[in-house]
Structure 1
Amino acid sequence: MDRRTLSRIDDELNSEEVAELCFLCTDFIPRKRLEGISSAKDLFLKLEDATLLDSSYLTQLFRTIHREDLVRQVQNGSRQAEEADAVPSLSDYRVMLYSIHDDMTEENLDKLKFLLNPKLNRRPLEKSKTALDVFVEMEKSQLISKDDVSGLYKLLLEFDKKLAAVVEKYMQDHRGALTDTSHYQKRPSIPSLESLSVSQPETWSETEDPNNGVRSDATPCPDPPTSPDEEEYYSFTHEPRGLCVIFNNKLFFPESNLGERGGTEKDEKSLNNLFHRFGFEVVVHNNLTADLIESEITKLGQRNFSHDDALVVCVLSHGDNGCVYGIDGKKVQLRALTLPFPSYRAPSLIGKPKLFFIQACQGTLAQSGYLPGSEVKGDAELEADASSSTSNSVPNDADFLLGMATVAECKSFRNKYTGSIYIQELCRQLERAAESSKMEDILGVLVHVNREVSKGVFLNKKQMPEPKYTLTKKVVLKYMN
């Protein structure tokens, strides 16, 4: 963000508005670090430390406190081109509390404090000048949280049913918000999926066997002898080689609070051109909701891959820990992306590589560190792209690779004009390997990607991609003649 714009905004915010902004930021900046902040400049420095000082996040903040004039200043003064696909959203919980504060009269505030007297110490209540101050004390005493606001609802019912209705709507909207992943947990996780260490093929347990654990005592017939190449490398002989599906989300619904992903069209074009040259059929889906992404993935799992050598799926979107977002702001779990493709569900993909590349943040944390000689990207060109851990994202089956732009809980970065740091480096390294006379496999390519991406410094932070895999052979991608 342009410093002069931030300085002008600081001049136009009073202390009460700064306190409101601090309250709204509590989900991303620890409350202790926000204590004592009296000016917007101080808050902007804290946001900068947390890599949250971007136009999208500031727009959400100022819009929530009804300062559309500042929103216009932010949008006019934004010069940064490098951003993160995290673009954290203000939580519905905190926005709901703010709206109650916004509509609460002095008389109702006194009633709320009176009703809380038996539950909270008198001194903190006496020092609470606004409803937001009261909510902070209730949070400290665990009387309310984003998962339980029933206590607040009961209190508000005593004196203002209109305010209580705001809480009731929040409870109704979030009744099923926590995704039930129990059906994913019925299969044990992989014993060891070390990044960049070759995993052995999985052996299905009795509970996982499609034949209910029935085994034959007959001596198996030996397989016909195979050439060393067949044992070491996956076969790429079909024309086309396989299918590459790209999910490219750029424009998000306004109510999702997820900003436009500038530069993602560069990633889509680079992947499209590259996999065409590798001999793949390429299908692109632009700007899909979460339900439509899952629907397309389900259809893909029902496809007959008998005449394909491989499946490649690329997802370019905003994300959070263990998920990516549809353009409606709803989550698609990473596990849901790979779930249709294990061998027991997609038998025509048995023994064939299934490659998934995810350009999205996996949280809002920023990686720190600086190596001598590392390349510093100009902050004016970067944005950040960011919820369950990715540890269970690779199915408990052989022949999968999941290439993540970043490690769990951290941000990945994207240039609004040239594309994301990870995807562009991935394409460069795949091109280099394809043009080489050596048979460099994709794991070697990803080592180069990790090395090059980790050299950079983006918005004063680092990024480290993370591959996970259960490949049993080497994947070598060469251009088709």
Structure 2
Amino acid sequence: MDRLKLSRIDEELESSEVAALCFLCCDVVSRKRLERIGDAKQLFLRLEEKGLLDNPVFLSQLLHTIRRADLLNLLETDSRQPEETDASPVLSTYRVMLYRIYEDMTEENLKNMKFLLNGKLGRRQIEASDTALDLFAEMEKAGLLSDTDVNELLATLREFDQQLALTPSVNNNSQPTQPTLSISETIYEGESVHTDAEISRETSSLPNEDYALTHIPRGLCVVINNESFRGLELSNRGGTQEDAKALRKVFYSLGFDVVIHDNLTADDMRHKLKELSRRNYSNEDALVVCVLSHGEQGCVFGTDEKKVSLRELTEPFTSKIAPTLTGKPKLFFIQACQGSGYQGGTVPCPPRPRNEEEVGETFEEDAGPVYGETVPWDADFLLGMATVQECKSFRNTSTGSIYIQELCKQLTRSAESSERDNILDVLTRVNREVGRGVYLSRKQMPEPKYTLTKRLVLKFVR
């Protein structure tokens, strides 16, 4: 790998982060070789010895695990090597799980854990452990913890924090797996993860079971409304304020607290989402996030014209990061282009004069340059896209975007109806109505994607 990039990454990492990276590498580099490492450069040398930096995939996994997305950007150019990725080493799911527990532990948790392990570990080992990662390492040395036996750790965590004992497992790509699996329900066999949940399905949700919506407020609806862009490539988004108003009105009536953030940079968006992921949702039933911006395939833009991937929008709310949202619907509605192409109809739509409804109206496209990006899915997510991949979406500069305005219209219709429409029925009607229109002599086709496990019925409560 480029030594200059490695040096820049080293300069940005704090000593605690270097210690965390060393812990994560314990399964690929011997503990003795990791002793007395003082900075990331020394760690990188150890990884090079093992051939683990021949491509950036392994380092990307490390930086992703410790949530240094800013440093991942340094590797972005090199990381697009799918032919190498499949053969690359991956972080141990077991060790990433331990790191997630460490992330969630407070100072009080650490003191309690040291107290409970007194007698099982020597006094010197306990006193020398400044962090939970140090304790985990001492437990491993004493034979109290391994990738095939986490019972002692589970029993200890249960004594002072039940939530920590519910830390979900993660798969070998450091992506979210199914939520709410306790450590005791996870069996590690080599590089595979099997769960007892695969054996018994007696508690599985029935297809017609509804998500529980009992709290007032139902939850939080956050709208990121990007109108004014600072650079030269992306134009300002006239009409987006109408979308924000429509979303505020409908979701407030549906029982949600609504918060609107105007004109956020890419980093501001990530920061707001990270703040939201730390929120306690125990007394709320759902989360809604709406992003109104320019976009390209697999991402949206901040007002500084920098990209935020769809993965970065959804991942902070997976159960491994936001456990109080486990089993609750998380709805994301994205008004942005997903490419530079146009959606056509079965019969080509030739240029034609505007009809009476279009006179005086101006349509624009929420587009940017085109690159690829994959989106990870976890249970109970719904992602409503204004358009299919590789195509543009349209926004009226006076009345708002075609997709968001139709979405709000159909949500209102369903909420006022005596019928108990599922959210998927609502989005099907949105698809139909948007697909009927013609915008700048072109078509638009929204695209919902979801991993919902129950029916979601939204009714007005205010």
TM range (shorter): 0.5 to 0.7
1:218 & 1:356 partners in 2: Cα distance? 27
Size of the alignment, in residue pairs?
288
2:371 & 2:389 partners in 1: Cα distance? 8
TM-score by length of 2: 0.56
Aligned to 2:281: 305
Aligned to 1:233: 210
The answer to whether the 8 A contact 1:261-1:317 is kept is: yes
Aligned to 2:384: 403
The answer to whether the 8 A contact 1:315-1:358 is kept is: yes
1:258 & 1:461 partners in 2: Cα distance? 21
State the shift of 1:405 in Å.
0.2
Distance change (3 Å), C-alpha of 1:179 and 1:474:
farther
The answer to whether the 8 A contact 1:405-1:422 is kept is: yes
SS at match of 1:339: helix
State the shift of 1:225 in Å.
11
The answer to whether the 8 A contact 1:290-1:327 is kept is: yes
Q: Which runs of 5+ in 2 are unaligned?
A: 1-72, 92-167, 189-193
Aligned to 1:433: 414
The answer to whether the 8 A contact 1:256-1:327 is kept is: no
Correspondences of 1:308-387 after superposition (within 5 Å): 308-369=284-345, 378=358, 380-386=361-367, 387=370
The answer to whether 1:249 aligns with 2:222 is: no
Distance change (3 Å), C-alpha of 1:206 and 1:465:
closer
1:402 & 1:327 partners in 2: Cα distance? 22
Higher-RCO chain (CA-CA 8 Å, sequence separation at least 6): 1
SS at match of 2:289: strand
Aligned to 1:21: none
2:253 & 2:295 partners in 1: Cα distance? 29
State the shift of 1:181 in Å.
7.5
**Over aligned residues, Cα RMSD in angstroms?**
3.6
1:181 & 1:345 partners in 2: Cα distance? 26
Deviation by residue 1:79-116 (Cα, 9 ceiling, x = unmatched) = xxxxxxxxxxxxxxxxxxxxxxxxxxxxxxxxxxxxxx
The answer to whether the 8 A contact 1:324-1:331 is kept is: yes
Distance change (3 Å), C-alpha of 1:437 and 1:383:
same
The answer to whether the 8 A contact 1:366-1:410 is kept is: yes
1:346 & 1:467 partners in 2: Cα distance? 23
Aligned to 2:187: 213
State the shift of 1:378 in Å.
3.3
Residue type matched to 2:380 in 1? D
Deviation by residue 1:240-286 (Cα, 9 ceiling, x = unmatched) = 00010000000110x24211100000000000011100110111110
Residue type matched to 1:332 in 2? V
Residue type matched to 1:301 in 2? S
1:304 & 1:454 partners in 2: Cα distance? 39
Aligned to 2:256: 280
Residue type matched to 2:457 in 1? V
SS at match of 2:312: helix
2:272 & 2:329 partners in 1: Cα distance? 20
Aligned to 1:9: none
State the shift of 1:216 in Å.
8.1
The answer to whether the 8 A contact 1:378-1:459 is kept is: no
SS at match of 2:260: strand
TM-score by length of 1: 0.54
State the shift of 1:396 in Å.
3.2
Aligned to 2:450: 469
Distance change (3 Å), C-alpha of 1:292 and 1:437:
same
1:453 & 1:217 partners in 2: Cα distance? 44
State the shift of 1:205 in Å.
7.8
The answer to whether the 8 A contact 2:273-2:316 is kept is: yes
Correspondences of 1:32-51 after superposition (within 5 Å): none
Distance change (3 Å), C-alpha of 1:454 and 1:426:
same
2:391 & 2:199 partners in 1: Cα distance? 48
Residue type matched to 1:286 in 2? D
Deviation by residue 1:370-393 (Cα, 9 ceiling, x = unmatched) = 669999673852111114456x32
From 432, 442, 458, the counterpart of 1:451: 432
From 408, 411, 414, the counterpart of 2:395: 414
Residue type matched to 1:213 in 2? I
Residue type matched to 1:470 in 2? T
SS at match of 1:337: helix
The answer to whether 1:266 aligns with 2:239 is: no
The answer to whether the 8 A contact 2:187-2:195 is kept is: no
The answer to whether the 8 A contact 1:311-1:353 is kept is: yes
Correspondences of 1:156-171 after superposition (within 5 Å): none
Correspondences of 1:61-210 after superposition (within 5 Å): 178=77, 180=79, 207=172, 208=177
Distance change (3 Å), C-alpha of 1:441 and 1:181:
farther
From 255, 265, 277, the counterpart of 1:289: 265
2:196 & 2:276 partners in 1: Cα distance? 36
State the shift of 1:430 in Å.
0.4
Q: Which runs of 5+ in 1 are unaligned?
A: 1-173, 188-202
Distance change (3 Å), C-alpha of 1:240 and 1:175:
closer
1:175 & 1:396 partners in 2: Cα distance? 25
Distance change (3 Å), C-alpha of 1:462 and 1:236:
same
Distance change (3 Å), C-alpha of 1:329 and 1:224:
closer
Deviates more, 1:398-407 or 1:217-226: 217-226
1:219 & 1:252 partners in 2: Cα distance? 48
Residue type matched to 1:452 in 2? E
Residue type matched to 1:279 in 2? G
2:246 & 2:395 partners in 1: Cα distance? 14
